[in-house]
Amino acid sequence: MEKKEYNKLVRDYFPELMKEKGKNVEFEILGGSQYSEKLMEKFNEEVEKFRNAGTDRLLSEIVDLLEVVYAIAEHRGITESEVEFMRQLKKTRSGGFRKKIMLKTIEGKSM
């Protein structure tokens, strides 16, 4: 039987889903700094998958990336509703990115 090593953060139900498929799964529950480190690795992994996603996988990769962002926020004591509230507040105050504006330069005193 082939054994493959991953050492990466996975979604909560992943071990059970693999067991249902007849796979033997070894895992551990992370805490503190290990969890923080693996969350950041997962964030980078998901950003890369998003960058390389074709049109057919784009929505799925956005959802995965968003789930990791929410997990990072929760780990740091910030709720999903606080994230959404702040997103809306910043959007109201500064706008979003729909106008596709690229800042080129600013000139003035005391930048």
Domain ranges for the chain: 14-80
- pTM, full prediction: 0.86
* pLDDT value of residue 60: 97
pLDDT given at position 111: 62
pLDDT of residue 18: 96
Please report which confidence band the pLDDT of residue 108 belongs to, taking 50, 70 and 90 as the band edges.
very high
Summarised one tens digit per residue, pLDDT across range 23-35 is 999 999 999 899 9
Sole residue written with tokens 């956005």: 62
pLDDT at 89 over 70: yes
| 71 contacts 36 by C-beta, under 8 angstroms | no
The predicted structure's pLDDT at residue 110: 78
Q: Please, how many CA atoms are within 13 Å of residue 77, restricted to the half-sphere of its CB?
A: 1
CA distance 46 to 107: 37
Segment 77-87 mean pLDDT = 97
Using alpha carbons, select from 58, 85, 57, 82 the residue that is nearest to residue 72: 82
- Whether residue 36 has pLDDT greater than 90: yes
